[in-house]
Amino acid sequence: MEATLTPENQVRTLNFPAYQRLGAACAIAGSLLNWIANLLHPKDLVAYDSAAHFQTIAADWSWSLDHFLFVVVAALTLWGLIALSDSLLTTPGAYLARLSAHVAVIGTAIMAIFFVVDGFGMKAAAEIYLNAPATETVPALYTALLMSKLGLGTGSAYQVWYLGLLPILYAIAMLQGGGFPRWITLIALLGGVLGIAAGAGFFLAGFSTASLLSFVGAQAILALWIFAAGIALYRRKES
């Protein structure tokens, strides 16, 4: 007897398994590339908006490449996040899954803007400042400082929205929907708390070592969560 093609079956036919598995593969690849980009990134604890930081940026050959990789990470991970939302649309977590997908799109845009500002704008401003003639050093420094403030602002938005709100919403949706190991959602919640703390710290109090460490921790945990969720999604079977 031929099965009736209901709207729910149509959704499953469109979404499973190729789309979700391709999205899961993008999530895994994006996470691995995220770790590579983080390893390439210079490790310093000097203030973001300082002459010492400008010197670090100007002297580092991998700065632009590293931040371009983060833009690629944003694109790959977005596909993975949408596939993750898609896998929850027929579960009790459907509402938050839809909301999470919208947050992922907006957060990815903010992430791309931040890494363009930090990777391209800050590199150019730092080189202009360090190579400026003596008579133009002060205006060049103020230009670099202005660019760094823009970086801190967009970075704070990226941390609160993408590293903070995004994984928390997904964690709740995954808990409601089921089908994912609980430890994966706990990782997402931990990363989200650190992301919000980092963003709030940078935005409200400026640069601090505590905010920097929270930011680094949130990024690492987010990459781990997306990697684990991608593997779990890839291995899921149609129900």
Give CA–CA dist 52/50, Å, rounded.
5
DSSP state string for 153-208 = HHHHHHIIIIIIIHHHHHHHHHHHH--S-HHHHHHHHHHHHHHHHHHHHHHHH---
- The whole-number average pLDDT for the span 74-80 is 95
Q: Is the pLDDT of residue 176 over 90?
A: yes
- The whole-number average pLDDT for the span 106-131 is 93
Give the per-residue pLDDT at 237.
61
Q: Is the pLDDT of residue 11 over 50?
A: no
Q: Is the pLDDT of residue 238 over 60?
A: no
Residue 124 CB burial class (10 angstroms; 0-12, 13-18, ≥19): middle
Give the per-residue pLDDT at 15.
46
164's tokens = 């903070």
Q: Who has greater pLDDT, 31 or 42?
A: 31
Query: 187-221 pLDDT, tens per residue?
Result: 999 999 999 999 999 999 888 888 889 999 999 99
Give CA–CA dist 121/136, Å, rounded.
19
